[in-house]
Amino acid sequence: MQQHALNLEDALQTYFQYDTFRIGQKEIIQDVLAGKDVLGILPTGSGKSICYQLPARIEEGLTIVVSPLISLMIDQVKQLKATNFKEVVAINSFMSPTERRNVYQNLVNYKLIYVSPELLQQQELLNRLKQIHVRLFVIDEAHCISQWGHEFRPDYLKLSATIKELNDPTVLALSATATPEVQSDIMNALEKPAMIKRIYPMDRENIAFILEEVSNDHEKIDRLISIFNTYHVPALIYFTSRLAAENTASILTQRLANRDVAFYHGGMEQVDRVSIQQQFMNDQLDIICCTSAFGMGINKSNIRLIIHFHIPLQLEAYIQEVGRAGRDGKSSVGVLLFSQRDAIIPNHIIQNELPDETDLKNVFHYLYTISQTETKNPVDEQIEEQLQLNENHWKFFKYQLEKHGMINNNYIVYQENDWKIAYHSIEQVIKQRMQYKEEKLHEVLSWVQSKNCLRKDLYQSFQSSYRQSMYQCCSNCGFSWNDWKPEKTNKTIEKNADWKERLKNLLLVGETHETN
DNA sequence: TTAGGGTTAGGGTTAGGGTTAGAGCCGGTGCCCTGCT
């Protein structure tokens, strides 16, 4: 222990060329090295990845990093390889089957692997991992467990079982935003109630908030035009609909001269997404009209404006999205354009996010019918088609059914009593989740209509204290557009930059020189 | 000559039909797999 403590700075210098640790890093690394499970909530840009990359380098054994996006894994691996760390790999569906098999067979030669929660459920990979010494199990962007696990990506909820199967390695869950509620959800899902919490504040003192109520979308567009005619700064506009993002991008392109506008959402080809992201990072695009798909892993420091054309579904999401402004600490603004009709779309999304009671009945009926045939046919994906379930709804059911032992290895196990219990349990989960989401939306709507300080109301339920604003506070505290004089973006900075820096920028997707 | 690299498509999804007028009825988030030149 003492030995480690003395040498950590040296290791940081040797492997990452930094002289000192940033806030929280050293404490987390010491905990991890001592074999303690840690939940680390560190502000974005504070170098979360050092917290596991340093231990991975100096310790024996393998470090597994569960990452939500392939693009994030690829970024990280590129950066590490650029610093001459070769024993690292991202395993995902972009790899050919041959390539993947090779990695599986040589797992013992790696010190750090990045993998999605879905792939971690595959028996072949799991079996290989069980044969080697897994030292550290990291969940990057751990809020995904809570945010996506329950309905969208249930494999996030299976991580605790995986950790047990891997002989309980040390667990490190990292995120930039997690409310106390999300924190306990993460610890519950991982079945690690005794995790050490290393929580650092997430309020942003350099972001001012403006709330503007308008009567319809036309007025919102007019407001956008007027804002962008005054300010020439890198900006994101968030939408809850892909179509609205595309349409608005096209309107802005027509009506704003000298401004490069693009849209970005999850329905686009991967290649286009990467290209848009790159152009924005390099200041070749000024404004991105996007859905919530745009965000994780974007580390552009000089975004000055985050505009919400639609309200987000939760305040947590708002904090994450608005938090992408002013990473460089300079004065930035979050604007929310609100009209009374705006609750309709989020309501639709919440109502359709989970299957309803009819779907539940149908699934049970269908499975019962099959289980009564002599051969107990395996459950196959036909069920989606038969019962007209969408993919996410079926994934939700499948997770729940497996959890209750109704499906085992794709075979139906019929036990009348267990099924009754399972039915009521799943029914309750659906109700509770929907109610939870409705409450979260209600919080957003209350915040939007609040007359109090927006900063205070936004942060106070998430952390015990919050800092005073560095520049201006919010529209409820008297801040108006006239007060805002953002620093001008200077596109020539990039052109004059040192050639090594520019080359690095080109080679490292989504990142500048900072390891994050 | 062959292996490896590169590009590309589509699947997991939705949907309704007017005569009794009267104005916006809106759908987010990602993996993985198969098969193609």
SS3 for A423-490 is HHHHHHHHHHHHHHHHHHHHHHHHHHCCCCCHHHHHHCCCCCCCCCCCCCCEHHHCCCHHHCCCCCCC
Beta strands per DSSP E along A255-398: 261-264, 287-290, 305-308, 332-338
DSSP helix/strand/coil, A263: strand
pLDDT score of A499: 52
Total structural domains within chain A: 3
Q: In this model, does residue A516 exceed pLDDT 90?
A: no
Q: Which residue is nearest to nucleotide B29 (CA to C1')?
A: A293
DSSP helix/strand/coil, A5: helix
- How far apart CA A320 and CA A302 sit, in angstroms, is 16
Q: Taking the mean position of all CA atoms in its chain, how far away is CA A264?
A: 16
Q: Point out the domain boundary residue: A140, A172, A199.
A: A199
Indicate whether A195 and A223 sit together in one domain: no
Give residues 22-61 of chain A lying near strand B (Cβ < 7 A).
none
With residue A83 as reference, give the H or E element that holds it.
Answer: none
Query: Is A450 domain-assigned?
Result: no
Band of pLDDT at residue A498, cut at 50, 70 and 90: low
Q: Which residue is nearest to nucleotide B8 (CA to C1')?
A: A269
Query: Is A516 domain-assigned?
Result: no
Q: Point out the domain boundary residue: A199, A228, A259.
A: A199
Give per-residue pLDDT as tens, A109-145: 999 999 999 999 999 999 999 999 999 999 999 999 9
Average pLDDT (A404-411) is 88
Give per-residue pLDDT as tens, A7-51: 899 999 999 999 999 999 999 999 999 999 999 999 877 789 999
Give residues 103-122 of chain A lying near strand B (Cβ < 7 A).
115-116, 118-119, 122
Percent of chain A with pLDDT over 90: 77
Give nucleotides in strand B with any atom < 7 A to a protein C-beta: 4, 8, 12-15, 24-34
Measured CA to C1', the nucleotide nearest A345 is B26
Tokens of A421: 């219990």
The spacing between the Cα labelled CA in A266 and the C1' in B7, in angstroms, equals 20
Q: In this model, does residue A502 exceed pLDDT 70?
A: no
Question: Is A451 within 7 A of strand B by CB distance?
Answer: no
Query: Is A134 domain-assigned?
Result: yes
Query: Is A409 domain-assigned?
Result: yes
Indicate whether A17 and A154 sit together in one domain: yes
Query: Is A391 domain-assigned?
Result: yes
pLDDT score of A2: 47
Count the Cβ atoms, other than its own, within 10 Å of residue A422. 18
pLDDT score of A477: 93
Q: In this model, does residue A511 exceed pLDDT 60?
A: no
The spacing between the Cα labelled CA in A383 and the C1' in B17, in angstroms, equals 29
Dihedral in degrees, nearest 10, Cα atoms A26, A109, A139, A27? -10
Indicate whether A159 and A220 sit together in one domain: no
Indicate whether A323 and A358 sit together in one domain: no
Indicate whether A408 and A487 sit together in one domain: no
Indicate whether A37 and A150 sit together in one domain: yes
Average pLDDT (A58-64) is 96
Indicate whether A131 and A109 sit together in one domain: yes
Helix (H), strand (E), coil (C) string for A39-77: EEECCCCCCCCHHHHHHHHHCCCEEEEECCCHHHHHHHH
Enclosing domain of residue A17:
2-199
Measured CA to C1', the nucleotide nearest A313 is B28
Task: Kindly list the distances between the CA atom of residue A110 and the CA atoms of A48, A77, A85, A102, A272, in Å, as whole numbers in the listed order.
Answer: 21, 12, 10, 12, 32
Q: Which residue is nearest to nucleotide B13 (CA to C1')?
A: A390
Indicate whether A233 and A316 sit together in one domain: yes
Give one DSSP letter per residue of A164-212, joined into a string.
HHTT--EEEEEES---HHHHHHHHHHHT-TTPEEEE-----TTEEEEEE
Query: Is A447 domain-assigned?
Result: no
Question: Is A356 within 7 A of strand B by CB distance?
Answer: no
Tokens of A69: 């996006």
Indicate whether A14 and A110 sit together in one domain: yes
- How far apart CA A206 and CA A87 sit, in angstroms, is 39
Tokens of A180: 């106390």
Question: Is A314 within 7 A of strand B by CB distance?
Answer: no
Indicate whether A482 and A340 sit together in one domain: yes
CATH number, domain containing residue A172: 3.40.50.300
Query: Is A278 domain-assigned?
Result: yes
Indicate whether A360 and A324 sit together in one domain: no
Give per-residue pLDDT as tens, A65-117: 999 999 999 999 999 999 899 999 999 999 988 999 999 999 999 999 999 99
Question: Is A498 within 7 A of strand B by CB distance?
Answer: no
How many Cα atoms are found within 13 Å in the side-chain-facing hemisphere of A394? 15
The answer to whether A104 touches A124, Cβ cutoff 8 Å, is: yes
Query: Is A515 domain-assigned?
Result: no
Q: In this model, does residue A239 exceed pLDDT 80?
A: yes
Question: Whole-model pTM?
Answer: 0.88
Q: Name the average pLDDT for chain A.
A: 90
Question: Is A75 within 7 A of strand B by CB distance?
Answer: no
Band of pLDDT at residue A381, cut at 50, 70 and 90: low
Indicate whether A79 and A161 sit together in one domain: yes
Q: Point out the domain boundary residue: A143, A169, A199.
A: A199
Question: Is A124 within 7 A of strand B by CB distance?
Answer: no
Percent of chain A with pLDDT over 70: 92
Question: Is A152 within 7 A of strand B by CB distance?
Answer: yes
Give residues 237-276 of chain A lying near strand B (Cβ < 7 A).
240-243, 265-267, 271
pLDDT score of A247: 95
Q: Which residue is nearest to nucleotide B25 (CA to C1')?
A: A344
Collect all residues with Cβ–Cβ distance below 8 Å to A409 and sequence separation of at least 6. Answer: none
Q: In this model, does residue A484 exceed pLDDT 70?
A: yes
Q: In this model, does residue A249 exceed pLDDT 90?
A: yes
The answer to whether A72 touches A117, Cβ cutoff 8 Å, is: no
